[in-house]
């Protein structure tokens, strides 16, 4: 059976272009988002996924560290951030952070993923010592730390330029930047939801600065709140244009909005159709991004597994302690074991590949 029978005829010319490897434009992106042929859209994304990765599906053995939730930004979609002194605000000391790293030294962790709020007064030395201290405990580990928003905040607090800030952090052990904080680039949405947050230009500039320094970064899009489909397409195309220039993005991770415990808890969050379509359209529009990741903590293991048939090639990691999404009411488990992740991938008809942060295969994992 050569091909799925499309039920939406507007997908046929897009299918032709996908088969030829031609770049899709904004109108085609919008047509894909609006299509009622969910499986047809997924099928197109899977063509690209298989061309790039065959049946390989990646996961990582990682540890999440959310060192503090104290944040000056107060974004409406966030259930994690707290003002200093507010109920539920926390800030780990360096000793507490190192204890968390030490507690898992016996595990084959290849990446520590570090994200926090924009803390108003922690000194820059705290961040440098955090990175150095973790590296001292685990010299081989890759530190993927601080979103572009945190980097810009640290640069401002410390009175140094973004390149100098990144260089100082790199010297202390920083390996790459996670993709958070991009939200949706639309000024209309940001004016309402996160007016104090780093601007889209600022976000892209930090990411591209990192790329020019030879560091990789990821990118995200928080979807399913008040943004329009046009605004999603625009977000994706801005990322694609930036990637054409600097080429340092490794993976794109659409983040499903979780309304619970946020100022937007009257909203429903995205449907399953929306989740799958967003992943698939991302794969199709972001032709210059190597990887599309379904973050299972947000989507749940079942949807993450299914997304492997909708253009996704990475389901993230073994994550043991994740706070940001769980504070927004995520019902997902705190961690999946390596064998659970591998089984989930195999059942979807894919070949599990344990990767490190830079998508190099971790050889001993298959045993």
Partner 1 sequence: MGNTTSLAAKLAEGTRLSLKEAQGLWDLDLLTLGQEADLARRRLNPENRVTYVVDRNINYTNICTSGCRFCAYFREPGSPEGFVLNEIELAQKLDELKAHGGSGVLLQGGLNPDLSFTYYVDLVRQIKDSGLGVHGFSPSEIAFMSRRFELPLTDVLARLIEAGLSSIPGGGAEILADRVRGQISPRKCNSGEWLEVMAAAHEMGLKTSATMMFGHLETRAERVEHLFKIRDLQDRTGGFISFIPWTFQPGGTVLGGEPLGAVEYLRILAVSRLVLDNVPHLQVSWVTQGPKIAQVALKFGADDFGSTMLEENVVAATGVGFRLSREEIETLVRRAGYEPRVRDHRYNLL
Nearer to partner 1, 163 or 333 (CB): 333
- Distance between CA atoms of residues 116 and 96, nearest Å: 15
Nearer to partner 1, 243 or 332 (CB): 332
Cβ of residue 191: shortest distance to partner 1, in angstroms? 27
Nearer to partner 1, 199 or 337 (CB): 337
Cβ of residue 305: shortest distance to partner 1, in angstroms? 5
Are the C-beta atoms of residues 299 and 333 closer than 8 Å to each other? no
Cβ of residue 248: shortest distance to partner 1, in angstroms? 32
Are the C-beta atoms of residues 124 and 112 closer than 8 Å to each other? no
Residues of this chain that interact with partner 1 (CB under 8 A) are 1-5, 7, 36, 38-40, 42-43, 46, 268, 271-276, 299-303, 305-306, 308-310, 340, 343-344, 347-349
Nearer to partner 1, 14 or 145 (CB): 14
Cβ of residue 166: shortest distance to partner 1, in angstroms? 38
Sequence-ordered alpha helix ranges (H) in the chain: 11-20, 26-34, 38-53, 94-102, 124-137, 148-158, 162-172, 187-193, 200-212, 229-246, 272-285, 296-299, 301-307, 338-347
Closest by alpha carbon to 43, among 280, 350, 292?
A: 280
Nearer to partner 1, 35 or 251 (CB): 35
- Distance spanning both ends of the chain, measured CA to CA: 35
Closest by alpha carbon to 128, among 157, 180, 166?
A: 166
Cβ of residue 8: shortest distance to partner 1, in angstroms? 11
- Using CA atoms of 284, 325, 91, 153 in order, give the dihedral in degrees to the nearest 10: 30
Cβ of residue 361: shortest distance to partner 1, in angstroms? 23
Cβ of residue 36: shortest distance to partner 1, in angstroms? 6
- What letter does residue 365 receive in the DSSP assignment? G
Are the C-beta atoms of residues 206 and 156 closer than 8 Å to each other? no
Nearer to partner 1, 166 or 280 (CB): 280
- Distance between CA atoms of residues 358 and 301, nearest Å: 23
Q: What's the number of CA atoms in the CB half-sphere (13 Å) around residue 16? A: 4
Phi, psi of 150, deg, nearest 5: -65, -40
- What letter does residue 23 receive in the DSSP assignment? P
Nearer to partner 1, 129 or 265 (CB): 265
Cβ of residue 304: shortest distance to partner 1, in angstroms? 9
Nearer to partner 1, 151 or 299 (CB): 299
The three-point CA angle 252-254-259 to 5° equals 155
Cβ of residue 18: shortest distance to partner 1, in angstroms? 14
Nearer to partner 1, 19 or 213 (CB): 19
Nearer to partner 1, 40 or 179 (CB): 40
| Token duo for residue 51 | 């061309």
- The gap from C-alpha 262 to its chain's centroid, in whole angstroms, comes to 20
Cβ of residue 258: shortest distance to partner 1, in angstroms? 13
Pairing of strands 291-292, 314-317: unpaired
- The gap from C-alpha 302 to its chain's centroid, in whole angstroms, comes to 18
């Amino acid at each position: 059976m050569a091909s799925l029978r499309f039920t939406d005829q507007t997908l046929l010319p897009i299918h032709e272009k996908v088969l030829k490897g031609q770049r899709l434009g904004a109108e085609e992106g919008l047509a894909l988002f609006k299509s009622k042929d969910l499986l047809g859209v997924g099928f197109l994304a899977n063509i690209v996924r298989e061309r790039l990765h065959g049946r390989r599906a990646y996961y990582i053995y990682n540890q999440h560290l959310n060192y503090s939730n104290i944040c000056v930004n107060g974004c409406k979609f966030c259930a994690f951030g707290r003002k200093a002194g507010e109920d539920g605000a926390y800030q780990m000391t360096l000793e507490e952070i190192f204890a968390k790293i030490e507690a898992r030294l016996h595990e084959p962790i290849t990446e520590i993923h570090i994200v926090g709020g924009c803390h108003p007064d922690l000194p820059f030395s705290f961040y440098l010592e955090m990175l150095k201290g973790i590296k001292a405990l685990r010299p081989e580990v890759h530190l993927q730390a601080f979103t572009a928003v945190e980097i810009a905040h640290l640069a401002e607090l410390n009175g140094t330029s973004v390149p100098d800030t990144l260089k100082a952090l790199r010297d202390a052990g920083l390996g790459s930047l996670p993709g958070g904080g991009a939200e949706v680039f639309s000024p209309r949405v940001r004016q309402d939801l996160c007016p104090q947050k780093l601007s889209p230009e600022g976000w892209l500039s930090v990411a591209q600065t990192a790329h020019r320094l030879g560091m990789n970064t990821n990118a995200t899009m928080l979807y399913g709140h008040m943004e329009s489909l046009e605004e999603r397409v625009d977000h994706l195309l801005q990322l694609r244009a930036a990637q054409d220039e600097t080429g340092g993005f490794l993976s794109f991770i659409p983040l499903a909005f979780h309304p619970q415990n946020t100022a937007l808890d009257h909203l429903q969050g995205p449907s399953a159709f929306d989740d799958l379509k967003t992943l698939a359209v991302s794969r199709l529009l972001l032709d210059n991004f190597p990887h599309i990741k379904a973050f299972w903590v947000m989507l749940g293991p079942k949807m993450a597994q299914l997304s492997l048939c909708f253009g996704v090639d990475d389901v993230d990691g073994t994550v043991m302690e994740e706070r940001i999404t769980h504070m927004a009411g995520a019902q997902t488990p705190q961690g999946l074991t390596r064998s659970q992740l591998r089984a989930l991938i195999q059942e979807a008809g894919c070949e599990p590949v344990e990767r490190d942060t830079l998508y190099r295969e971790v050889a001993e994992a298959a045993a």
